[in-house]
Structure 1
Amino acid sequence: MNKDSEPLLPTVQLVEITEDNNDQRLDNFLLTRLKGVPKSRIYRIVRKGEVRVNKGRVDVNYRLMTGDIVRIPPVRVAEKAEQAAFVPQALRDVLQRGLLYEDEGFMVIDKPAGYPVHGGSGVDAGIIEGLRRLRPEATFLELVHRLDRDTSGCLIVAKKRSALRRLHELFRDDHIHKTYLALLAGQWARKKMVVNAPLLKNVSKGGERMVVVSQAGKAAETVFRRLKLFKNATLIEATPKTGRTHQIRVHAAWLGHPIVGDERYGLAEVNKAFHRKGYKRMFLHARELAFEHPLTGKPIRFEAPLPPQLQELLDHEEPV
């Protein structure tokens, strides 16, 4: 398709920013408004000054404020709308089946393992992009926190800027109680342990992002409780008190009992042995979230049951 045959979005739009988009970055706002327009093109029209805020030029990092007037120029769309809105059927099914809760402020999704929370690194659509494409009428959908690609369980998505801000405050002040289930390699002798081991983000020789225990890192605390002992593994409950990258995974490995199936911090031979038994993924599941409702202040709790395939594997483990 040549440029002249590409569909043209409406002529100049003047959009007044409401509370729902207050404090949102300009590039994220435009990506939502201009569905189907490549990110590179959005950056280009901002850089050239075709997008204006209150009649002035701004950077893509500009944080919008209630009452701002955003000038959006006519933009040619390189992709067909139906291509831009495409959501793989498997992801569509996941998003429709996995909704645990929804109200006017936010939703909680039971995220399956194998799906990133957002696109990138060769992945066109993660959970948040899939949601936005399935709900084109939604003016605001943002991740409140993240889960690793191979981790399943409770994930919060905000539907209003005010809910997002409040939930971020709750996370920052440790007022959101998070509980994970994990299967550790080997028999862990302790019944309970609080791990206080600072974590430092690092990069391995191969360029892979790694996190290591280091006194130069940031404070990190995880409470581990043993739930059940098996012949070659231990089912535990992990409650992170801080929210560092890969925190539970690194703390478990530091204990000498990495999470089964963890290819980054685990033991290759152990993972191979469990893979032969049917373990095809990392055994880490965000089972429960409990916090005050961001809009009403009432206590709420959400639970995502252990995925059937993991429960079936546990049922076949030999107990001690």
Structure 2
Amino acid sequence: MLDLAPLVLFHDPLIIVLNKPAGIPVHVGPSGKDCLEDYFDQIRFGLPRLPALAHRLDADTSGCLVLGRHPKALRRLGRIFSQRQAQKTYLAITKNRPEQTEGRIDLPLLKVSSKAKGWRMQVDEAGKPSITEYRVLGGQDGRYLLEMSPLTGRTHQIRVHLAALGCPILGEPKYADRDQDESHLHLHSRRIRLPLYANKGEIDVIAPVPKHFEKALNRMALGNFFR
């Protein structure tokens, strides 16, 4: 049984922001396994209606996940996300370091599928425009901490872009050879900023990094980076 109450980072009359755990899908998939939506009844905060997802995170990704508390809120959030007004910041721990300390990855992505491997995203000129900005924050011994800012919202965008750069995310199960001793994808939705109210400042929420991320940071001598 998943307890969502301790995962609530922010809530007001319109939205809820959760610190999503890694390893659980946000909605029901083909496997029929438990998903985050199964537990939304715990966080209605007095409203008769269940909150609903305003966007998505991969099952293996942790961090800031935004829910709308009713249809009006979801419509407003839908406009913010579709117009790219939401500012999203991710942290990734990668194997290898990009050549440049900071830069922009501008590679179109296309969804492909096969009977043997199922579906995946790949870099393809026929795909949709996909842009991710990055900055190297530190690292050592072949492991590096990167701050990622996706300017578009394609499925698996950060994961594919980093793999294409030759810097796959630690624990990546789909777009690189996974380390046998790493069972977690080291990708975390660290921060989200939303211009939700016209007459107020933007909503700005930060999610603490999960335990497996902390352990990796400690191994990289970056354990105090986010404390």
TM-score by length of 2: 0.90
Q: Distance in 2 between matches of 1:286 and 1:169?
A: 20
Question: In the superposition, relative to structure 1, how do residues 124 and 260 fare at CA in structure 2: closer, same or farther (>3 Å)?
Answer: closer
Confirm or deny: 8 A CA contact 2:5 2:43 kept in the other structure: no
Question: In the superposition, relative to structure 1, how do residues 299 and 134 fare at CA in structure 2: closer, same or farther (>3 Å)?
Answer: closer
Query: Where do 1:262-277 residues align within 5 Å?
Result: 262-268=172-178, 271-272=179-180, 275=181
* Residue correspondences, number: 221
**Match 1:121 to one of 14, 24, 30:** 30
Aligned to 1:199: 109
User: Structure 1 residue 137: deviation in Å?
Assistant: 5.8
Confirm or deny: 8 A CA contact 1:199 1:219 kept in the other structure: yes
User: Structure 1 residue 130: deviation in Å?
Assistant: 1.2
User: Structure 1 residue 259: deviation in Å?
Assistant: 0.6
Q: Distance in 2 between matches of 1:123 and 1:259?
A: 27
Q: Distance in 2 between matches of 1:230 and 1:123?
A: 40
Q: Distance in 1 between matches of 2:201 and 2:134?
A: 28
Query: Where do 1:56-95 residues align within 5 Å?
Result: 89=1, 91=2, 93=3, 95=4
**Match 1:244 to one of 135, 146, 154:** 154
User: Structure 1 residue 113: deviation in Å?
Assistant: 0.2
Q: What do the CA deviations read for 1:231-253 (whole angstroms, capped 9, x no partner)?
A: 11111000000000000000000
Larger Rg: 1
Aligned to 1:259: 169
- Identify the structure with bigger relative contact order (alpha carbons < 8 Å, sequence gap 6+): 2
Query: Where do 1:1-320 residues align within 5 Å?
Result: 89=1, 91=2, 93=3, 95-132=4-41, 135=44, 138-268=48-178, 271-272=179-180, 275=181, 279-294=182-197, 297-317=200-220
Paired amino acid for 2:220: E
Q: Distance in 1 between matches of 2:97 and 2:11?
A: 39
Give identity over the alignment, percent: 35
Question: In the superposition, relative to structure 1, how do residues 144 and 296 fare at CA in structure 2: closer, same or farther (>3 Å)?
Answer: farther
TM-score by length of 1: 0.65
Deviates more, 1:246-255 or 1:137-146: 137-146
Q: Distance in 1 between matches of 2:156 and 2:114?
A: 15
Q: Distance in 1 between matches of 2:171 and 2:199?
A: 40
Paired amino acid for 1:309: H
Confirm or deny: 8 A CA contact 2:89 2:192 kept in the other structure: yes
Q: Distance in 1 between matches of 2:72 and 2:43?
A: 23
User: Structure 1 residue 102: deviation in Å?
Assistant: 1.1
User: Structure 1 residue 125: deviation in Å?
Assistant: 3.3
Q: Distance in 2 between matches of 1:207 and 1:158?
A: 34
- Whose strand fraction is larger, Structure 1's or Structure 2's? 2
Q: Distance in 1 between matches of 2:126 and 2:213?
A: 36
Structure 2 gap segments, 5+ residues each: 223-227
User: Structure 1 residue 118: deviation in Å?
Assistant: 0.8
Q: Distance in 1 between matches of 2:42 and 2:18?
A: 16
Question: In the superposition, relative to structure 1, how do residues 294 and 207 fare at CA in structure 2: closer, same or farther (>3 Å)?
Answer: farther
Structure 1 gap segments, 5+ residues each: 1-88
SS in 1 for 2:205: strand
Q: Distance in 2 between matches of 1:138 and 1:230?
A: 50
Q: Distance in 1 between matches of 2:211 and 2:42?
A: 28
SS in 1 for 2:212: helix
SS in 1 for 2:149: strand
SS in 2 for 1:169: helix
